[in-house]
Amino acid sequence: MTSLVTKLSDEEVRARLLQIPTWKLNRGELECTFSLTSFPQAVLFVDAVALLAESEQHHPDITITYDTVILRVATHSAGGISEKDFMLAQRISQLERVFQIIK
C-alpha cells in the first residue's frame, strides 16, 4: 500500500523535482541552499523552518554558514525520498518567498 512516506522511484523523484526547481537531489536527499541577508536573518529563517517542520512532523537537516542555509530532507523510515519530503520542501520554499519580501 502506498502512503505519504512510501519511497518514490528515481523516476518519480526526477519528475517531482521539476515542480520545485530550486531543490536538487544530492546523495539521496532533497537539498536546497537559501541565501539570506545576514546571520540573524538566516537564524530567523531556520526558526520559521523549525516551526513548520514540527507542525508537519518532518524535519530537515540544517546547516547554517553565516548568511547561507542548506536544508536536506529525506524519509528515514523509507530509506529514500517520499511525497512527504516534497510537501515539506514546497512549504519551505513558500516560506522563503515570505522572507524575500521582508528582507
Ligand X SMILES: C[C@H](O)[C@H](O)[C@H]1CNC2=NC(N)=NC(=O)C2=N1
Q: Which residues make up the interface to ligand X (CB under 6 A)? A: 57-59, 73-77
Q: Which is nearer to ligand X, 67 or 78 (CB)?
A: 78
Q: Which is nearer to ligand X, 69 or 75 (CB)?
A: 75
User: If you ran DSSP here, which 8-state letter would residue 80 be given?
Assistant: B
The CA distance from 39 to 82, in Å, is 31
C-alpha cell at 21: 526547481
Closest separation in Å from C-beta 77 to ligand X? 5
If you compute the radius of gyration of the chain from its CA atoms, what whole number of angstroms results? Answer: 14
Closest separation in Å from C-beta 71 to ligand X? 10
Closest separation in Å from C-beta 57 to ligand X? 4
CB-based closest residue to ligand X: 76
Q: Which is nearer to ligand X, 59 or 91 (CB)?
A: 59
| Three-class DSSP category at 84 | helix
The CA distance from 58 to 73, in Å, is 8
